[in-house]
Amino acid sequence: MLEMHGVSRRLASFNDIVPGYVFSGVYFSEKFIAAHPDQVRAFLRGLTRSFEFIKKHEAKARSYLPKYTGVSEDVAQRSALRDLSGGGRVSMDTLNRQQDLLLKFGLIERKVSLDRIIDYAFLPK
């Protein structure tokens, strides 16, 4: 966005340096899942449907951004779009590589097992 406004020049994108880096995720506590499993499934179903809509109708999806984010139409149409091909799933290899980077740069003290944290069972097949 800064480049589009003429205040900087991009030398490389973060994705060029660390391909596939995951910046966000959706989290539910075990207590919430136990109490509201149908709501969790419905939310994730809607989220993955939005991924499909974005993949099939990218320009239309981007046209909604100014209304809901306040960015200009120009920025909305040219901003980077994350890879949505996994349907909400990210490979454990990718997530483990991210942990390796976080460990290397001192952002975490030790790696943790992701098997207890990542559960795709509630995502639509």
Over residues 24-75, the pLDDT tens digits come to 889 999 999 999 999 999 999 999 999 899 889 988 998 998 999 888 888 8
- 3 in a domain, yes or no? no
- 95 in a domain, yes or no? yes
Q: Compute the mean pLDDT over every residue in the chain, rounded to the nearest whole number.
A: 87
CA dihedral of residues 109, 114, 116, 117 (deg, nearest 10): 90
- 122 in a domain, yes or no? no
Domain containing 55: what range? 14-116
Has residue 111 got a pLDDT over 90?
Answer: yes
Has residue 79 got a pLDDT over 80?
Answer: no
Has residue 20 got a pLDDT over 80?
Answer: no
pLDDT for 4: 67
Has residue 124 got a pLDDT over 80?
Answer: yes
pLDDT for 41: 95
Q: 80 near 13, Cβ under 8 Å?
A: yes
pLDDT for 1: 61
Is pTM beyond 0.85? Reply is no
Burial 4-17 (b: 16+ CB within 10 A, else e): eeeeeeeeeeeeee
Has residue 106 got a pLDDT over 90?
Answer: yes
- 39 in a domain, yes or no? yes
- 42 in a domain, yes or no? yes
pLDDT for 2: 66
Give the count of domains, the chain.
1
- 125 in a domain, yes or no? no
d(CA 6, CA 21): 26
pLDDT more than 70, % of the chain: 96
What sign does the dihedral 53-90-118-125 (CA atoms) show? positive
- 80 in a domain, yes or no? yes
